[in-house]
């Protein structure tokens, strides 16, 4: 029965390794790369500039009526 002991040991080690790989990280910070964050901020700024320009054009059209 020495083979059964090795089989049980191997199965238990495999189970423990699988469970350890599925644990959550305690600190999820830093998941989003800094370059991506900066790109999103820049895109938000550009979007705001476009919205401001569109608002000014609409206001100018309203005054022109």
Q: How many CA atoms lie within 13 A of 7 on its CB side?
A: 4
33-44 confidence digits (pLDDT tens)? 889 999 999 999
**Token pair of 19 as six digits:** 């469970």
Question: Is the pLDDT higher at 8 or at 42?
Answer: 42
User: Euclidean distance between the first and final Cα of the chain, in Å?
Assistant: 96
DSSP 22: T
- pTM value is 0.46
Q: Distance from CA of residue 49 to its chain's centroid?
A: 26
């Amino acid at each position: 029965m020495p083979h059964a002991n090795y089989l049980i040991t191997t199965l238990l080690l495999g189970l423990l390794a699988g469970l350890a790989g599925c644990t959550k990280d305690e600190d999820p910070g830093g998941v989003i790369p800094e370059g991506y964050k900066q790109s999103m901020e820049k895109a938000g700024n550009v979007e705001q500039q476009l919205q401001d320009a569109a608002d000014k054009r609409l206001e100018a059209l309203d005054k022109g009526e």
